[in-house]
Amino acid sequence: MKNQITLLLLCLTISLTSTAQVIEITPSYGYQFGTRLNYGLGYVKAESSGQWGIAAGVELRPGLIGKISYTSMGTELRVRDIDIENNREVRLSDLQNDWFLLGIQKYLNTGKVRPFVGSGLGLVIVSPKNENTLNCTGCLPQTEITPSLGSNTYFAFNFEAGANIMFTDNIGFNIQGNLFFPVNYGGFYVGTGGAGFSTGSTQIIGGFSGGLVFRIDAD
């Protein structure tokens, strides 16, 4: 699924840039804050971690950029449950989030410092891996739970705000804050027999990033 979406976005990027007058390419690295999903007997949370990404944009009209972006977030999923591991917070699995978004970025002015706001719509692929075996200490009899967490794809959107600080007409530094909204993020179920937990809700994942921005005149 991820490879198919990547190929689709690559084809769309090539199509847009072939007719664009101005192209912007922004590789970036940043930090994401964690998020937590509460349920009746405990919670599941994704830890804070790093993120990296790349965005390609074309100037639709002066000051308005149509943008395609990919962001990779790798983190650790942890759980605390009254029936599991004596109600201690323990590692559940690693967690990979891959965001594919189409959006708009609006510059608020021109010059060496160019503040902007933007938003996008798309998909996030959530892929747990390296699941940890858990002890259901609240079960009678006590038993082990071996999670089997499959990958899921969710509708998602984002908002961003920041600035491009241009060193020259073509090269600058990008810094921005990001808010990611996966819809029904974390639809996990872990259990054995009658014991287990299930979660699911819309969350907000915030963070910030920075990187170089390359602005290319395609004329």
Q: What is the CATH number of the domain that holds 178?
A: 2.40.160.20
Taking the C-alpha atoms of residue 205 and residue 34, their distance in angstroms, rounded to an integer, is 7
pLDDT (tens digit per residue) in 79-128 = 888 888 888 999 988 989 999 999 999 999 988 999 999 999 999 998 88
Q: Which two tokens stand for residue 103?
A: 């959006």
Backbone angles phi, psi at 48, to 5 degrees: -65, 150
Domain count, the chain: 1
pTM comes to 0.82
192 pLDDT band (50/70/90 cuts)? very low
> Token pair 């959107």 is at which residue?
157
What is the domain extent for residue 168? 2-17+25-217
Q: What are the backbone angles phi and psi of residue 106, rounded to the nearest 5°?
A: -115, 120
What's the rounded mean pLDDT across residues 137-147? 77
- pLDDT, tens only, 41-55: 788 888 999 999 999
In Å, how far are 19, 112, 168 from 109, measured between CA atoms? 24, 10, 16
